[in-house]
Structure 1
């Protein structure tokens, strides 16, 4: 499970921002059983939240926080693939002359197999400035390794990184490659163990469901989650009976396609069996007397709404994460989805029954309705806001210590917690524009 993520000097975040999934101790009765997972770690109880939501005005930093996590995940997985002269494609805060030449920093704290790890790195486009990994089993945090540029230090009494030590000693790590990635590439066991945790981070865009629709359709096609996905979509009460996958041949392509598009489809979309894959939704069909007759098939891409397509696309990742105890991070979860469907997805993650593996959901949204429906604790609600210099700030609703019966939605929209746009005089702007047009 994710305990904490921190980022500094990346895109709109100039100062260090930290998202914590540690449940606060202000109230151990509010949705404690549903929303909190209690773990026995060291000599203390570790209470972690199963979900968290981030609010904020447009361009306040919500998406940039998701992008920071995505960057860290991708860099950990692929930094060893960079060519010797390649620069690290990291973007610092660019709105002051100091930050744009300073290093960027990323760090995660997580728990896996009962052990708490803290891993992070500090980078410039031309080199890894620092890299570190700590673990904590009891009350003491132990440094496993620390890197300063091309110098590596390993804890002398810890047997981990047998292969990784040799990788560092033999200078097999480039200045732009993370040591963790290089060691895992040479089959270092603990390095691979850490990287596998990053593979459990599933980061999705709520605006581009095509990227994960393919995953969902493949789960249906292989039969791995066909029944679960069908039930998940049926629960949305849209009348759907089942979802099936149909293999089409090249001859099924529409005649009106240009040769260029036809060739592109043939090269990029045809699967290894030589077929095009098409998804079909089956609905009940009735006669004029209301009697049920034969079912009707519809092509999802052509006949379904954008919301239905997104809900179907999300079903695969959501069910997979719940089954495996992974972490799902969604940018703009509420886009094109009815608020009640968003609530149901949150309920699945907060449920002790449906989420026995303690999977976690982190998402950003503009749906203020979620603030007052009783699904979330105060420590699960976060905000992003920009300061006068254009830098994003991340903070928790818990910082305001709101009362239990406080109308969170009303107070948020009134600006009592920040994280909302400061609107100018739109009426005056329209009058000014109209006056200029009349003058012309």
Structure 2
């Protein structure tokens, strides 16, 4: 399970920011899961967190940074040879940040209950630092300490990594040591590489939707077929089933079955389905895969093209230990404050699951938990958020946009 993610100098995240799934001390968190660690202790972890904020506040950049970290682990050794430098996106609004390294670090718990901390810093031309720590008995063990500024770049405290000298010698300056080790299927480090490979899948409303539709279509031909059809039908979209048709070119196309009042069943062409239906369908395959494997899923703009009740049901799915028995996790962004509350006035999310983003006057994003605002136990989070009590809302006064348009039009008329 993912415990924490820290990042600095990536897109609008100039200063170090942290996103945590760990339940804050002394918080009553009904949604939390107890995760048993290898030393016999437990840690309380949320199955999901939501990041809320105004448009362009940087909430999507948090998920993008997590994805960039994953891509670096998976691709730095095999694919970065073709780059003149290191592909990264530093904070671009001041010259100092452009010349500084970008920082990434995660804490996570493996299937065996061992907690790991792994991180690195990327410069323009080389990996500036890389480190790996484990906590098998509750105390930190250092496995890797890489620092490109030292004469001896790689250090292996405790000499725990097998074949370390050869791996260090063959790791390029612009590649991660972990990525290099995984190409040899290293018996100790490949399990960490696989954690990145099997987690941090990003879904956003624009990119790769066609690919996700295709993935869900493939799942309709396998063991997840009944669950996909059930989720389509209970979503009240008038859908009673799905049919997969083979095209002349060998690819497959899905046709959703709609039942009319007369009882007649019609298979609509995919192009006739609404954007909302297609968005829901495209989410189902990745979501069910995450639930079945206990993976960490990242969804940018969960409420985009979905009714708020659909988005709320996704939250409930990840909260329910019977539906989510393998401890899958979800990190999502949203600008819809109605997702903070249920229609009956209760809370859909615990306060510790809510994170907020706000930009300062220099364009840098501040990521902070709702618990920092100390909301009351009975406080209506939606109303307080809309009232600006927690920050992270657009700084627009009622009617301001219309007045500005009117002023511009009047200046245009004077100049014509």
**Deviates most, 36-45 or 384-393:** 36-45
Q: What per-residue deviation string (whole Å, max 9, x for no partner) do you get for residues 299-353 of structure 1?
A: 22x1111000010110011111111111110011100000111111100000011
* SS of equivalent residue, structure 1 residue 162: coil
* 207-216 vs 313-322, greater mean Cα deviation: 207-216
1:331 aligns with 2:297: no
Deviation at 1:25, TM superposition (A): 2.9
Name 2:269's counterpart in structure 1: 299
Give matches, 1:175-186, under 5 Å. 175-186=173-184
1:44 is displaced (CA, Å) by 3.3
Cα distance in structure 2, aligned partners of 1:114 and 1:144: 17
* Aligned position for 1:17: 17
C-alpha separation in 2, matches of 1:370 and 1:84: 44
Deviation at 1:40, TM superposition (A): 2.5
User: Structure 2 residue aligned with 1:156, among 158, 162, 165?
Assistant: 158
Off by >4 Å, runs of 4+ in structure 1: none
Residue in structure 2 matched with residue 38 of structure 1 by the alignment: 34
User: Residues 85 and 69 (structure 1 numbering): CA distance in 2 closer, same or farther, change over 3 Å?
Assistant: closer
SS at the partner of 2:220?
helix
Q: 1:143 to 1:83 in 2, by over 3 A?
A: same
Q: RMSD in angstroms over aligned alpha carbons?
A: 1.5
Shift of 1:77: 0.1
Task: Kindly indicate whether residue 341 of structure 2 is the aligned counterpart of residue 386 of structure 1.
Answer: no
Range 407-416 or range 121-130, more displaced? 407-416
Any residues of structure 2 matched to 1:287-436 within 5 Å, and which?
287=262, 292-293=263-264, 295-300=265-270, 302-373=271-342, 374-423=347-396, 425-436=400-411
Alpha-carbon distance between aligned partners in 2 of 1:85 and 1:196, rounded to the nearest angstrom: 24
CA distance in 1, matches of 2:131, 2:223: 38
Q: TM-score, normalised by structure 1?
A: 0.88
Q: Distance in 1 between matches of 2:324 and 2:124?
A: 40
Cross-structure match for 1:8:
8
Q: Is the 8 A contact 2:134 2:141 kept in 1?
A: yes
In the aligned structure 2, how far is the partner of 1:68 from the partner of 1:85?
19
Equivalent position SS for 1:125: coil
**Aligned residue in 1 for 2:146:** 147
Q: Please name the residue that 2:242 is paired with.
A: 243
Cα distance between partner residues in 2 of 1:180 and 1:100 = 25
CA shift in 2, pair 1:248/1:427, >3 Å = closer
Structure 2 runs not aligned, ≥5 long: none
1:95 is matched with which residue: 74, 93, 96?
93
Contact in 1 for aligned 2:142/2:158 (Cα 8 Å):
no
Shift, 1:165, TM fit:
3.9
Tell me if the contact between 1:21 and 1:380 (Cα under 8 Å) persists in the aligned partners.
yes
Query: 2-side partners of 1:298 and 1:173: how far apart?
Result: 53
Distance across 1 between alignment mates of 2:130 and 2:257: 52
Post-superposition Cα deviations, 1:362-401, rounded to whole Å, max 9, x if no partner, equal: 1000111111222210000000001111100100001111
Question: Hey, what's the Cα distance between the residues in 2 that align with 1:66 and 1:248?
Answer: 36
Partner of 1:138: 137
Q: Is the 8 A contact 1:14 1:391 kept in 2?
A: yes
Give the TM-score, by structure 2 length.
0.93
Please, which runs of 5 or more residues in structure 1 have no aligned partner? Answer: 250-273
What SS class does the counterpart of residue 143 from structure 1 fall into? Answer: strand
SS of residue in 1 equivalent to 2:142: strand
